[in-house]
């Protein structure tokens, strides 16, 4: 594995993320933090969308639920950051397994609609769930940053942890793609019925992929909302972020390992530019929509797919 | 000869259509059993009932002594029963080698990835696809895709291979090549249950033949015996008197 170039490419990406922002360069750190979150979301979404061929429009539910669990564990139950993150990851993965066993009987458009349903149902539940603050959400006391050395250092620690989660996401994508499990998922993505006839245990594999794709976004959500010290249903379960994760995955190349990372980085740059530009400030999502249309129409396998077709050797290096 | 596959009193109804009605037959160890009949006789449905694509309304399917009636296709595959499809179902975007590796990974032997690749190489070589291993399946010709279907099923190293019209749509050279491959497979001790319309091929390959018409068994026996059964001739092969009566 150490001899595969891709292993080192991921390591290098992590190193750049970890080393780039220095000292007072908070602006760069915040931009890279967002990119790390996007990469985490997109690359886990890719397990379902790119590998198994199931469009998950509601993948943000993992991120939001992870956030809620973590904020609840820390704020209400008084747990430390580490146990809260582990517990929220575990809780959301288990919840995803339950959702998955239900909705993975559906295919295509019906599945995609059901994933939106899951997100909306969870949001409606949380909005009415008083222990989690209902519609007003939960505020965390800034006291909670003290064990990490106060708010300043805490933000750096959160940043490094999110970069680590991003790295683990990329390695997870990589290992799954190189494994027997990954081969099974890819065959499901190509032709689910034929895969089952060849012996691929399709219900189990789909449920595993769905719940595996929940784990790291949930932990990332925990960190993200801990950082903001506030969580409310409208932020946690915002379908915009789900849609952006799909645009990112499609832009970079669904089913490829590097694609989601490349797409996330480019999208975050574009988004930053649009948000600060006077003309386009309110058009960020319009641009995302147009981008998605163009990709689906002209380059359904995204940037990496285009590169691989142009220079087939690249595939050997990056996959 | 002990029975490898046992189909007992199998029935399937689709709405108002009785697709398969009280069907009984067995496939013995090492045997090639041909399944023939006119279009719409229910042959492919029988395959789908055996490997679990459809659940039967009644009846029983036993494979190597285990009851597999209504079991999911992936469980049936794991037990050592592989099949091909009449309409080819390749994983179009995956390479020929990866297609075959899926068969080897999840078939009877449940091989780990590295060993599955070896089995996939062997299976691809057996059907003559060894030069196209890295080609995406969608680039193969129809004959190539048919061979890929077969290679993928073979890579699983099944005890029983069910072939749904692997010869259909092939030109005479390709048919001859495919028959050669089937004889080789049989030589390795794999039992075969095959659906085929190409009479000459199925008559020469099969040990026994079951004739299906409107979901019911019309006749069963050695090829020569079946070919001269008046009921079969009338329902499927055509009226033999017709040739003589045709005006010159």
Over 50: is that where the pLDDT of B243 sits?
A: no
pLDDT of residue A222: 97
Between A and B, how many residue pairs show a Cβ–Cβ distance under 8 A?
75
Q: Which of A113-122, A232-241, A282-291 has the lowest mean pLDDT?
A: A282-291
Query: Cα–chain-centroid distance for residue A81?
Result: 20
Note whether A254 contacts B: Cβ–Cβ < 8 A: no
pLDDT number for residue A129: 96
Does the beta carbon of A200 lie under 8 angstroms from any beta carbon of chain B?
A: yes
Query: Which residue of A178, A189, A197, A316 to mutate against B (max B Cβ within 10 Å)?
Result: A197
- Pairing, β B208-213 against β B216-221: antiparallel
Chain B residue numbers with beta carbons less than 8 Å from the beta carbon of A192 are none
Does the pLDDT at position A127 exceed 90? yes
What residues of chain B lie within 8 A of the CB of A195, using their CB? 91, 102
What confidence tier does A117 reach under pLDDT thresholds 50, 70, 90?
A: very high
**Residue A168, CB-side half-sphere exposure with 13 Å CA sphere:** 14
Q: Can you give the pLDDT at residue A270? A: 87
Nearest to B72 among A183, A187, A196 (CB): A196
Please tell me the predicted confidence (pLDDT) of residue B248: 44
* pLDDT attached to residue B240: 55
Q: Using the beta-carbon criterion (under 8 Å), do A194 and B73 form an inter-chain contact?
A: no
pLDDT more than 70, % of chain A: 99
Closest-CA residue of A relative to B93 is A190
Q: Which residue has the tokens 């993928």?
A: B152
Write down the pLDDT at residue B232: 87
- Would you say residue B166 has pLDDT above 80? yes
What pLDDT does B91 receive?
A: 96
**For residue B93, which residues of chain A lie inside 8 Å, CB to CB?**
190
pLDDT digits (tens, 9 = 90+) for A81-97: 999 999 999 999 999 99
- The answer to whether the Cβ–Cβ distance between B106 and A201 falls below 8 Å is yes
> What ipTM goes with this model?
0.91
Confidence of residue A1 (pLDDT cuts 50, 70, 90): low
User: How far apart (Å, rounded) are the C-alpha atoms in residues A7 and B62?
Assistant: 48
What is the token pair recorded at A261?
A: 């990372």
Nearest of A319, A302, A217 to residue A4 by alpha carbon: A319
* Distance, first Cα to last Cα, chain A: 12
| Residue range B190-219: mean pLDDT, rounded | 93
Smallest CA–CA separation between B125 and chain A, in Å? Answer: 19
And the tokens for A3?
């001899």
**Interface residue A105 vs chain B (CB under 8 A):** no
Residue of chain A whose Cα is closest to the Cα of B85: A194
**Integer Cα distance of A175 and A253 in angstroms:** 18
Q: Does the beta-carbon distance from B74 to A187 stay under 8 Å? A: no
- Distance (Å) from the C-alpha of residue B118 to the closest C-alpha of chain A? 14
Average pLDDT of A102-110?
A: 90
Token pair of A148, please? Answer: 């990490």
pLDDT exceeds 80 at position A4? no
pLDDT in tens, A133-165: 999 999 999 889 999 988 889 999 999 999 999
- DSSP lists the bridge partners of residue A230 as A139
With cut-offs at 50, 70 and 90, classify the pLDDT of residue A319.
confident
Matching residue, tokens 């575990």: A90
Residue B81 pairs in a beta bridge with: B160
Nearest beta carbon to residue B74 from set A180, A191, A196? A196
Strand stretches in chain B, DSSP E: 3-14, 17-28, 32-36, 58-63, 66-67, 81-83, 160-164, 191-195, 208-213, 216-221
CA-to-CA separations, A23 to A153, A155, A156, in angstroms, rounded: 10, 12, 10
pLDDT at B244 over 90: no
At A265-295, the pLDDT tens digits run 899 888 888 888 877 767 777 888 888 888 8
The span from the CA of A150 to the CA of B199, in Å, is 84
Strand-pair partners of A28: none
Residue-level pLDDT at A288 = 80
Using one digit for the tens of pLDDT, what is the confidence trace for B99-155? 999 999 999 988 999 999 999 999 999 999 999 999 999 999 999 999 999 999 999
- The residue with tokens 């019309």 is B218
The closest alpha carbon to B76, from B156, B12, B148, belongs to: B156
A300 touches chain B (CB under 8 A): no
**A2: pLDDT confidence band, cut at 50, 70 and 90?**
low
DSSP assignment of A266-309: HHHHHHHHHHHSTTTTT-HHHHHHHHHHHHHHH-TTHHHHHHHH
What per-residue string of b and e applies to B82-91 under the rule 16 or more CB within 10 Å gives b? bbbbbebbbb
Contact B53 A179 (CB under 8 A): no
Tell me which residue in A183, A190, A197 faces B73 most closely, judged by beta carbons.
A197
What is the reported pLDDT for A57? 93
Q: Nearest-CA neighbor of B111 among B124, B99, B120, B122?
A: B120
Say which residues have a Cβ less than 8 Å from residue A293's Cβ, sequence separation at least 6: none
Contact of A194 with chain B, judged by CB distance below 8 Å, is answered with yes
B101 to A183: CB separation less than 8 angstroms, yes or no: yes
Q: Which among A218, A227, A207, A242 is positioned nearest to A169, based on CA atoms?
A: A218
Residue B1: what pLDDT? 47
What are the tokens at A63?
A: 């991120």
Distance from CA of B51 to the nearest CA of A (A): 8
Does the beta carbon of B51 lie under 8 angstroms from any beta carbon of chain A? Answer: yes
* CB-closest option in A180, A190, A196 to B105: A180
A196 close to B (CB below 8 A):
yes
B152 inside 8 A of chain A by CB = yes
Contacts of B153 in chain A (CB under 8 A): 198
pLDDT score of B105: 95
Q: How much is the average pLDDT of B88-104? A: 95
Mean pLDDT of A220-245: 94
Share of chain B above pLDDT 90, in %: 80
Average pLDDT of the residues in A94-119: 92
Tens-place pLDDT, residues A18-61: 988 877 788 889 989 999 999 999 999 999 999 999 999 999 99
Query: How far does CA A197 lie from the centroid of its chain?
Result: 32
pLDDT, residue B246, reads 46
**Predicted local distance difference test score (pLDDT) of residue B234:** 83
B73 touches A at CB < 8 Å: yes
Residue pLDDT, tens place only, A162-172: 999 999 999 99
- Mean pLDDT across chain A: 91
| Mean pLDDT on B167-194 | 91
In this structure, chain A runs to a length of 319
Neighbours of A273 (CB within 10 A): 12
| Lowest pLDDT segment from A237-241, B115-119, B235-239 | B235-239
């Amino acid at each position: 594995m150490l001899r595969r170039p891709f292993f080192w490419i991921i390591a290098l990406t992590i190193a750049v993320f970890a080393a780039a922002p220095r000292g007072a360069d908070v602006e760069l750190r915040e931009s890279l933090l967002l990119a790390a979150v996007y990469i985490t979301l997109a690359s886990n979404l890719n397990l379902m969308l790119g590998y198994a061929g199931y469009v998950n429009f509601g993948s943000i539910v993992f991120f939001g639920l992870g956030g809620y669990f973590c904020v609840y564990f820390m704020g209400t139950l008084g747990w430390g950051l580490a146990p809260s993150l582990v517990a929220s990851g575990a809780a959301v993965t288990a919840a995803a397994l339950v959702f998955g066993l239900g909705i993975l009987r559906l295919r295509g458009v019906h599945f995609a609609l059901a994933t939106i349903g899951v997100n909306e149902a969870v949001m409606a539940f949380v909005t009415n769930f008083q222990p989690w603050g209902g519609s007003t959400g939960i505020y965390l006391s800034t006291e909670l940053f003290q064990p990490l050395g106060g708010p300043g250092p805490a933000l750096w620690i959160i940043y490094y942890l999110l970069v680590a989660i991003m790295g683990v996401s990329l390695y997870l994508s990589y290992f799954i793609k190189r494994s027997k499990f990954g081969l099974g998922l890819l065959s499901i993505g190509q032709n689910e019925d034929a895969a089952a006839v060849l012996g691929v245990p399709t219900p189990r594999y789909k449920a595993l992929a769905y719940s595996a794709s929940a784990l790291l976004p949930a932990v990332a959500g925990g960190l993200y909302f801990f950082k903001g010290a506030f969580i409310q249903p409208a932020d946690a379960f915002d379908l915009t972020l789900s849609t952006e994760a799909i645009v990112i995955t499609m832009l970079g190349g669904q089913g490829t390992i590097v694609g989601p990372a490349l797409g996330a980085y480019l999208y975050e740059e574009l988004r930053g530019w649009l948000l600060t530009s006077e003309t386009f400030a309110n058009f960020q999502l319009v641009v995302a929509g147009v981008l998605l249309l163009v990709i689906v129409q002209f380059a359904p396998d995204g940037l990496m797919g285009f590169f691989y077709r142009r220079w087939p050797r690249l595939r050997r290096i990056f996959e | 000869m002990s029975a490898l596959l046992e189909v007992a009193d199998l029935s399937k109804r689709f709405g108002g259509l009785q697709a398969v009605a009280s069907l009984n037959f067995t496939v013995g160890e090492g045997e090639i059993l041909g399944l023939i009949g006119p279009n719409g006789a229910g042959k492919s449905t029988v395959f789908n009932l055996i490997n679990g694509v459809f659940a039967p309304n009644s009846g029983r399917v036993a494979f190597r002594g285990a009851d597999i009636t209504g079991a999911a296709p992936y469980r049936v595959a794991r037990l050592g029963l592989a099949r091909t499809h009449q309409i080819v179902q390749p994983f179009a975007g995956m390479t020929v080698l990866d297609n075959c590796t899926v068969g080897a990974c999840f078939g009877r032997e449940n091989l780990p990835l590295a060993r599955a690749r070896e089995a996939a190489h062997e299976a691809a070589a057996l059907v003559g696809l060894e030069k196209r291993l890295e080609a995406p399946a969608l680039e193969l010709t129809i004959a190539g895709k048919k061979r890929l279907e077969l290679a993928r099923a073979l890579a699983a190293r099944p005890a029983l291979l069910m072939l749904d019209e692997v010869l259909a749509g092939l030109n005479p050279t390709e048919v001859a090549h495919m028959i050669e491959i089937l004889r080789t497979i049989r030589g390795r001790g794999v039992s075969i249950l095959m659906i085929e319309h190409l009479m000459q091929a199925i008559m020469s390959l099969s040990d026994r033949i079951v004739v299906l018409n409107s979901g019911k068994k019309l006749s069963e026996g050695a090829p020569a015996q079946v070919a001269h059964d008046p009921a079969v001739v009338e329902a499927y092969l055509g009226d033999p008197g017709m040739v003589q009566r045709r005006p010159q």
